[in-house]
Amino acid sequence: MIVEVFKTNVPEVELSELLIQQLEDQFPDSVINFDMEDCDKILRVEAYTITPEKIIQILNSNGYSCELLA
């Protein structure tokens, strides 16, 4: 499994749940969660194949910033 971690600016748990649903639609065999307690509103995606650009695009299209953490 691959794990990618992203910094976001998603402000609320309810919004993160909607975004998780959208991401799961695109990446059905993945485990996706947000750490809303972290100051960087961390998005964690675990899957066998991950396309970081697509994840960033989905968040950006919803009006949120998203960047891959090294």
Structure-token pair, residue 18: 């909607």
What pTM was computed for the model? 0.94
The CA–CA distances, whole Å, from 8 to 18, 19, 40, 44 equal 14, 11, 6, 10
pLDDT of residue 44: 98
One digit per residue, pLDDT tens: the chain, 70 residues? 999 999 999 999 999 999 999 999 999 999 999 999 999 999 999 999 999 999 999 999 999 999 999 7
Q: Distance between CA atoms of 12 and 1, rounded to whole angstroms?
A: 28
